[in-house]
Amino acid sequence: MGADGNLTDLVNLFDRQAIFKALAILVAAWIANYAAQRTLTAIARKASGSRRFYILASVSLIRLIIIVAAVVLIIPIMMEPSFENLVAFLGAAGVALGFAFKDYISSLIAGIVTLFEMPFRPGDWIEIGGHYGEVRRIGMRTAEIATPDDDLVVIPHSKIWNTLIVNSNGGTRNLMCVADFYLKPGHDGRRVKEILYDTALTSVFLQHQKPMTVTAAEKPFGTHYRLKAYPNDPRDQFKFTTDLTLRAKQALADDGFELSSIDFAIGEDR
- Cα atoms found within 13 Å of the Cα of residue 136, Cβ hemisphere only: 13
- Per-residue pLDDT tens for 114-147? 777 788 888 899 998 889 999 988 877 788 899 9
- Rg (the chain; Cα; Å): 31
d(CA 182, CA 226): 9
Looking at residue 145, its pLDDT comes to 92
Q: What is the DSSP letter of 261?
A: P
Q: Is 120 left (phi over 0), alpha (psi -120 to 50) or beta?
A: beta
Name the residue among 192, 191, 183 with its Cα closest to residue 222: 183
Over 70: is that where the pLDDT of 266 sits? no
Report the length, in residues, of the chain.
270
d(CA 220, CA 243): 28
Average pLDDT, the chain: 81
If you count DSSP H runs as helices and E runs as strands, how many of each does the chain have, helices first? 8, 8
More confident residue, 243 or 42: 243
Instruction: Check: CB of residue 31 under 8 Å from CB of residue 67.
Output: no
Instruction: Check: CB of residue 144 under 8 Å from CB of residue 137.
Output: yes
- Per-residue pLDDT tens for 51-60? 776 777 777 7
Task: Find which of 160-169, 228-237, 255-264 is predicted with most confidence, using mean pLDDT.
Answer: 228-237
Looking at residue 14, its pLDDT comes to 47
Instruction: Check: CB of residue 66 under 8 Å from CB of residue 32.
Output: yes
**Model pTM greater than 0.85?**
no
